[in-house]
Structure 1
């Protein structure tokens, strides 16, 4: 991968895409009475297949809750959340576990690698647990895309933070999930390592056809996406296609301390 691949460029406007995931009137309420908190308030949004979407908003706006509900990590209080044609609220715990294992990839701020396993063993671990063999051609392509070909036998303690997060990205990609959810994936990285990881995520969309949904607070990180959606008080308040860091920062300035747009 060329050095230019790790720097953000302004992408072309994406063509309409089939939804890899969709929220319709999605609500999430915690508590009752005086302790009742509406984290999501009738959210409607599509996440296009083969697109990179960033979710942004003030602290407490509902962005992580939206991602967790869409990924089946949190229950919904009303409305609909779908991965492809599958309605999450109709699944029992075992079916949800199977869906998360087979159709969803996760990348978190913490790398969540097992220290006793090599990079390759960490990458294939979810498939090993599921009793499935990886598609070797696809696995080789993923490893090449994230630049880990020379590090597969290394354990996490022998890798830098950026390399460990590359392993986490490869692990999320290795099973060819329908969608990847990334929660502040560069939060523990320095700027250069963060740029590399974001470049790999963007390349997984453009070159491998992956679908990525990323929660971030960083305008520069959001600029790698095809579009940015903004939340405030549990509602989508704005959307920005083909974002630049300057455009995202300008939109974020419109949010006051309560997370409302001016």
Structure 2
């Protein structure tokens, strides 16, 4: 049986600017991201990896091609429908955490649900808080938390609405190796134990080794894929001519 698809791009092109200032960031990219899978997107600077993630997440429009989240075509949605889709069906984790400093950890985690006028499912709340290990930090504000704890708050916030897919943009980029490993282990566990779908942009072979699959981009095109990656096999692929970073 084929794995259901949580997100997919079909022949996606993304072109910025015009005439001499024109830059082609994506060149006919087609990729599917299976439900309940953890995928890394890698490539050198300027390869299009962040652009692809932004197009998949509905944060940026495509020049040509289509993008789907589950059975919904994202391309062509009006602003209101796009806002609703991003709020209800997509989760985001960023390098900079993006927490509101005046809110406690618990309030930051609940924020997307509060905006949507929803209440968290008590059982799911307990599961997520236990998984991220923050039960004794819920009343703390971001300034009272370490970088790793702040990112785990951001992870819990992304998970709380049970989105179709979570997009993570360099989620360990601002963390030390120990905190980064804790966040990556949590993301991997949320996939394996709770069936979450995660697509992560990273430049780090160790971070990529936590995933099920790595998609390599170069010059706006997919040039290689790697299943069940290890740091060594990712490094080997990165050192090859096509995906040299």
Q: CA deviation at 1:220?
A: 0.2
The secondary structure found in structure 2 opposite 1:163 is helix
Q: Could you tell me which residue of structure 1 aligns to residue 54 of structure 2?
A: 68
Match of 1:174 among 160, 165, 187: 160
Q: How many residues align?
A: 245
Counterpart CA distance in 2 for 1:56 and 1:123 is 28
Counterpart CA distance in 1 for 2:244 and 2:132 is 38
Match of 2:73 among 80, 87, 95: 87
Counterpart CA distance in 2 for 1:22 and 1:255 is 27
Match of 1:164 among 139, 145, 150: 150
> Is structure 2 residue 124 aligned with structure 1 residue 138?
yes
Counterpart CA distance in 2 for 1:31 and 1:208 is 42
Match of 2:201 among 215, 221, 231: 215
Q: Could you tell me which residue of structure 2 aligns to residue 5 of structure 1?
A: none
After the TM superposition, list the runs of 4 or more consecutive aligned residues in structure 1 that deviate by more than 6 angstroms: none
Counterpart CA distance in 2 for 1:143 and 1:181 is 20
CA RMSD of aligned residues (A): 1.2
TM-score, normalised by the number of residues in structure 2: 0.98
Counterpart CA distance in 2 for 1:203 and 1:229 is 20
Counterpart CA distance in 1 for 2:241 and 2:177 is 25
Q: Could you tell me which residue of structure 2 aligns to residue 101 of structure 1?
A: 87
8 Å contact kept, 1:226–1:242: yes
Stretch deviating more after TM superposition (34-43 or 53-62): 34-43
The secondary structure found in structure 1 opposite 2:65 is strand
5+ long unaligned stretches in structure 2: none
Match of 2:63 among 72, 77, 91: 77
What aligned pairs does 1:37-48 form with structure 2 within 5 A after superposition?
Answer: 37-48=23-34
